[in-house]
Chain A
Amino acid sequence: MYRIDPGRTDLAEEFRRNPFGPHSAELQKVLNVMRWEPIEGKYVLVNTVPHKEWCLAQLPGKRGVPVTLHEDVVFTDLGEAEWYIFRLRWKKHTGVDPDQASQ
């Protein structure tokens, strides 16, 4: 199984610049790993104001149990919001926040 290399901040940077793709083959490998996320606790985005505002949230994994909204983490740009999710999942797999690692 492919393991995300925390040193490949170039791939994180590629995602930040172009979150919706198409992505390079190497970045696609990273994304494939990240997308195998279990539903319970998964970080997702909630479009709270149609076409204008997205809020960080976590899924409960069971129908009827409320979705947890992190109302202090709100975005007005969907690309920035996707980048935030990317950072969270990158950190989960590597232990490092790619935003800080690249600075």
Chain B
Amino acid sequence: MKKLLLGVVLLIALVFAMPLVLSDFGINLATEIYIMAIFAMSLGLIMGYAGMVSLGHAGFFGIGAYTVAVIGQHVANTYLLLLLSVVISGLIALVTGAVFIRTSKFYFLMITLAFGQLLYVLFWQLKPWTGGADGMSVSAILNFGFGEIVSPNGFYYVMGIAFIIFYILLRLFVESPAGKITKGIMENEARMSALGYNVRVYKLLAYTLSGALAGLAGALYAYFNVFVSPDLSGWMFSGQVMVMVIIGGVGTLLGPALGASVFIYLQNFMSTYTERWPMVMGALLVALVLAGKGGLIHWLQHGKSLFVARKRTGEAVSQQPVKKGEAVH
């Protein structure tokens, strides 16, 4: 508990220190990164702790975003809208998940892809409500009861704090008995099944939590971007968030968040420098794999342990052979 507290204090310091060094646009970008980090963590939860790789996760993001956009035309209460986003996406995750988890691995990947496309087409076809392929503006305004939040700084702190809250909640889940059992199932399903655990219930629990959180990220995004379109549920976006999780580090919570920040940052600035940015992006991905250390978070870990080993002795050195996944859960 103590270590979580310390970590959280550091994250809070990070969130509150950044505006001091950031430009206006930097704050805007950081806000978006916090939202994407929540989204990436939600996928990281099922990928890294339940072994389910989804290529339709943007579907839930879209549900959350459209909930705010569509229902927000009639309902103004922010708490209610956020709650609705979470409940709707969570329920849909529960129902679809019950069917999807019968499949495994690659088949799971593809059935979730189909799910995401289904929603994409739904948002596209329901033009009277969703504005169709042209998208729709979001009229709901973020208001937690302390006045309307419209300034970039206001958004920045809301999203930063949301990121920290959901990080804490996810960490609590991961370290709870249910979280540990889920991870045990990922590592050896047959054994956990033999031990008498209902494997499906735990997988479904993780999937539902993950879907609900993705929906929440989508809802926050709708407030932030004030525009939604079917692309939010498209498989391209699902693929991107999957890449964020993998480059950040599967099997961790902060890894996906880190992956999200690096990905968004690169996507935003690389095209400024070169028209050939897809090639640079591709080369970076290949290089990351060839380096063979797993996600970026494992790199940090590795770098830090080398650094600490040089400065101190004993304790840090004994820690040095970092086994990925294990040291960083």
Whether both chains belong to one complex is answered with no
